[in-house]
Amino acid sequence: MIEIKDLHVSVEGKKILKGLNLTINAGEVHAIMGPNGAGKSTLSNVIAGRDGYEITGGSITYKGDDLLEMSPEERAWAGVFLAFQYPVEIPGVNNTYLLKAGVNAKRKHQGLEELDAFDFMKTVKEKAALVELDPSFLSRSVNEGFSGGEKKRNEIFQMAVLEPSLALLDETDSGLDIDALRIVAGGVNKLRSPDRAIVMITHYQRLLDYIEPDFVHVLADGVIQKTGDKSLALELEEHGYDWVKENK
């Protein structure tokens, strides 16, 4: 689905990613772990198309296309979704309107009819139930006044409605208490499917108890240092990131 080759990225002249390689196939769940400041959010932002990042080398191919040539909205239409580490508040923009506009823009791009308002609301309510998001959040402004945990839940709810092919979850688990974590993880598990890839960025092994990854990668010093299965996360927990660098 996505193939990242020798990716070099700088922010404000500082090299963050230094030749990163990563291939993700449909149906797979990947976890990316790594110390603070390693560049995990940088990687997910670059995939989603945020500007302010200088791509100094390498390539990203998504479903056969050059992803780096696409605008953020084109990426969204093609099925890329980023659940933000810090979802922004947008006063005055209704949560449901945002999703409807997003879904319909994608459909329009695919040459499909706009969704009927009634069907859309039905879907939205079902998906909100999936992450146990109170329906009152639907009519509120995007993330405005939401608690940290509610924002994260709202991100997964949006993912459920937008039905992406490639979902990047940037520290969706941080700021969630154990009950909320269980609910959100349950939602994500229901969204696992053979034609969808999910990438979880996390600090903590505990998320992986709920959503079992096929692969675990350790990102440090701008490259993937080590790849393994979920036992790698346990080893990391035990030995720390320095151990990874020493035992490549």
Ligand X SMILES: Nc1ncnc2c1ncn2[C@@H]1O[C@H](COP(=O)(O)OP(=O)(O)O)[C@@H](O)[C@H]1O
- Name the residues that contact Mg ion, by CB under 5 A: 40-41, 85
Out of 34, 39, 49, 187, name the contact with another protein by CB under 8 A. Answer: 49
Q: Which stretch binds ligand X (CB under 6 A): 10-18, 123-131, 153-161, 186-194?
A: 10-18
Per-position DSSP letters for 70-109, written without gaps between them: S-HHHHHHTTEEEE-SSPPPEEEEEHHHHHHHHHHHHHHH
Out of 90, 147, 148, 182, name the contact with another protein by CB under 8 A. Answer: 90
Sequence-separated contacts (24+) of 65-71 with Cβ below 8 Å: 67/2
Q: Which two tokens stand for residue 110?
A: 């695919």
φ, ψ (nearest 5 deg) of residue 160: -60, -40
Residue 184 is a binding residue for another protein (CB under 8 A): no
Q: Which two tokens stand for residue 213?
A: 């990854």
Least distance between ligand X and beta carbon 96 (Å): 30
Residue 84 is a binding residue for another protein (CB under 8 A): yes
Least distance between another protein and beta carbon 106 (Å): 5
CA angle 146, 152, 153 (to 5 degrees): 85
> Which of 202, 44, 39, 38 lies closest to 188 in space, CA to CA?
202
Out of 30, 40, 152, 217, name the contact with ligand X by CB under 6 A. Answer: 40
Residue 73 is a binding residue for another protein (CB under 8 A): yes
* Residues that bind ligand X in the complex, under the rule CB under 6 A: 11-12, 16, 34, 36-42, 52
* Residues that bind another protein in the complex, under the rule CB under 8 A: 48-52, 71-73, 75-77, 81-82, 84, 87-88, 90-94, 96-103, 105-106, 141-142, 158, 162
